[in-house]
Amino acid sequence: MIVGIDLGTTNSLIAYFDGEKAQVIPNQLGDYLTPSVVSVDDEGVVYVGKTAKERKLIHPEQTAEIFKRSMGTSREFKLGERIFSAEELSSFVLKSLKENAEIFLDCELKEAVISVPAYFNDSQRKATKRAGELAGFVVERIVSEPTAAAISYGLNNREADTKFLVFDLGGGTFDVSILELYQNIMEVRAVAGDNFLGGEDFTQVLMQMFFREKNIDEDSLDEKTKAHIYKQAELTKMDFSDNKTAVMKCKINDEVYEYEISIDDYEKSCQILLNKIKKPIERSLKDANIKLNDIEEIILVGGATKLPIVRRFVSRLFGRLPNTSINPDEVVAIGAAIQAAMKERNEAVREMVLTDVCPFTLGTSIVVSRGNGNFESGHYLPIIERNSVIPVSRTERLYTAADNQNAICVKILQGESRFARNNVFLGELQLPVPIGPAGKECVDVTFTYDINSILEVEVKVISTKVSKSVIIKNDENTLSDEEIKERLEALAELKIHPREQEANKLLLLRGDRMYEEATGDVRMLIEKKMTAFETVLDKQNKDEISNARADLKIFLDSIEEDIL
């Protein structure tokens, strides 16, 4: 069985096709959403999801989140005394999803389709694939989130020549994609986005509003207090789903601060974020060469689109109500599971061709003439334009720029700037050419970009027929097979927290956190209840543990509001 996975910035999900439809698989806590949070304790025990999120409130220095934004980069995350890359942290989330799904399905899972933002570049897609491999998956395909969302909505079963726009605002990234269906082919016409814009930023706005209102210096607070305030900001943000006003309540140095916020004031404070959304939409429409009136449907994807201010903004921007018939948190995972069923040739799923686009322009550095024999180096020559349908291959002929030039160096670049220095360097190829006057010798430079996000560059000297090629897999943080094996062995030493104890551990972490927040008699009462629960755990009787867990949860729920 091949499963579909939505590896998200804030939450991750795993789904499968049961023969009739795609279904999201609950984790061991019974939740469909697993927070993309990882925490590692001093003994090397790894906590993932809700337990890690709870543990962050007590041990923020041993916890990481929002690491998806750093996929494909050399950034390192220090958790206590251990250091991890973004893909290693993501692999823990994927491994947790895998273990939970194996328990639910009662079978071993080896293959997966994993979704990524449409605007993820080559290195970010490769890093996602590595994360899947580190988690023990064979990654059958990396599918763009808007394509998965479109499949989930069943748009692949609609009439031909349907154009639709997918508005995908997740926890940490924003994508807008324009897709078109004709016959059994679903083609991505254009993508644009911002890898540093998402629901987390809307939470940060609430935090900053709170700091300004209460005249609090954020830099004066410790990490534990900041984590507490961030959690309260998240809860306040969710309150706006049902109310026009919300109260943010935080405890700082034993003093309780209350801040009542109206949704209108919140929307005004979010204007900078909302305005950032417009540019990718305008760019995608321009690249697809279609007008907004040509779009038949607008689909909302991602948990942040549940925010009333976001839905209001989208409705005003497009002049119509968007489609929200499927839970925006689950739509991508469901689509990835349907894509997995297609890979398995499941008869219940209509076979269709999915095309994608190259999200960034690929090109090289050239020298341009300024007249009177003057030349200026460092200019960018696009070879494969952004939003070209893939697979795609393009060739440009380049000439020597100086007399007696004996070699041509082709720098391989990715980006949109007209200056080479401002674009991402992916690699280079250098070939000798016969010495002669400027412009006599030339080379053909061919860029080929395939459906698996692999770029092949070939340079051929026309006069000598000598050629050289290179395959660019990603721009940094490349691991060889041997290095991947070594890292797998190192990560294997860390122990993913036992699944069967997840609910108990979550409750214990919550109790520990509330004990630290409380004082006086309440603190003593929490200590008494926690000790009683730990005594029941030691007896290892499942029925007694279940009853005691329920009692402790009721108790903690009843006093949490009082602690603040």
Integer CA distances (angstroms), 232 to 64, 206, 253, 320, 381, in order: 18, 9, 16, 33, 49
500 occurs within a structural domain: no
108 occurs within a structural domain: yes
Instruction: Please give the biggest Cα pair distance in the chain.
Output: 90
Q: What is the pLDDT of residues 479-517, one digit of tens each?
A: 566 766 676 677 777 777 666 678 888 999 999 888 877
**In a shared domain, residues 25 and 162:** yes
CA 506 to chain centre: 25
252 occurs within a structural domain: no
Contact of 449 with 384, CB cutoff 8 Å? yes
Q: Among the options 122, 145, 194, 330, which is catalytic?
A: 145
Q: Among the options 56, 68, 460, 529, which is catalytic?
A: 68
**Which residue in this structure is represented by tokens 């980006």?**
415
Number of other CB atoms surrounding residue 411 within 10 Å: 18
**In a shared domain, residues 375 and 328:** no
Pick the last residue of a domain from 304, 334, 357.
Answer: 357
- For residue 6, indicate whether it is catalytic: yes
User: DSSP string of 195-229?
Assistant: TT-SHHHHHHHHHHHHHHHTT--GGGS-HHHHHHH
Number of other CB atoms surrounding residue 194 within 10 Å: 20
What is this structure's pTM? 0.79
**In a shared domain, residues 104 and 30:** yes
Mean pLDDT, to the nearest integer, of 340-357?
A: 75
Pick the last residue of a domain from 357, 391, 425.
Answer: 357
486 occurs within a structural domain: no
Residue 467: CATH number of its domain: 2.60.34.10
Residue 12: strand pairing partners: 34
Q: Among the options 6, 194, 441, 517, which is catalytic?
A: 6
Q: Among the options 54, 99, 140, 168, which is catalytic?
A: 168
Mean pLDDT, to the nearest integer, of 28-33?
A: 94
**In a shared domain, residues 63 and 161:** yes
E strands along 218-325, which residues?
245-252, 255-262, 297-301
Q: What is the pLDDT of residues 395-453, one digit of tens each?
A: 999 999 889 999 999 999 988 888 999 888 888 999 999 999 989 999 999 999 876 66
Here the tokens at position 346 are 């499941």
User: How many helices and strands (H and E) does the chain possess?
Assistant: 14, 28
**In a shared domain, residues 405 and 547:** no
296 occurs within a structural domain: yes
- Domain with 286 in it: 2-198+272-357
Q: What is the pLDDT of residues 65-80, one digit of tens each?
A: 999 999 988 899 999 9
308: which residues sit within 8 A by CB, 6+ positions away? Answer: 240, 241, 263
Query: What local confidence, expressed as pLDDT, does residue 476 receive?
Result: 38
Query: What local confidence, expressed as pLDDT, does residue 474 receive?
Result: 42
**In a shared domain, residues 376 and 522:** no
Residue 330: CATH number of its domain: 3.30.420.40
**In a shared domain, residues 386 and 341:** no
- For residue 18, indicate whether it is catalytic: no
Contact of 142 with 114, CB cutoff 8 Å? yes
Number of domains in the chain: 3
Integer CA distances (angstroms), 444 to 7, 238, 301, 427, 437, in order: 40, 56, 42, 17, 18
**In a shared domain, residues 545 and 558:** yes
203 occurs within a structural domain: no
Contact of 203 with 237, CB cutoff 8 Å? yes
Here the tokens at position 32 are 């469909």
Among 331, 336, 276, residue whose Cα is nearest residue 300: 331
Distance CA 290, CA 273 (A): 25
**In a shared domain, residues 326 and 447:** no
**In a shared domain, residues 415 and 312:** no
Query: What local confidence, expressed as pLDDT, does residue 174 receive?
Result: 93
**In a shared domain, residues 106 and 157:** yes
231 occurs within a structural domain: no
Helix (H) or strand (E) holding 283: helix 271-288
496 occurs within a structural domain: no
Q: What is the DSSP letter of 61?
A: G
Q: What is the pLDDT of residues 387-396, one digit of tens each?
A: 888 888 999 9
Among 108, 73, 104, 106, residue whose Cα is nearest residue 87: 73
Give the rounded percent of residues in the chain with a pLDDT score beyond 90.
56
| Lowest mean pLDDT across 78-87, 496-505, 523-532, 534-543 | 496-505
Pick the last residue of a domain from 357, 383, 416.
Answer: 357
**In a shared domain, residues 398 and 304:** no
414-427: buried (b, 16+ CB within 10 Å) or exposed (e) per residue?
Answer: bbeeeebeebbebe
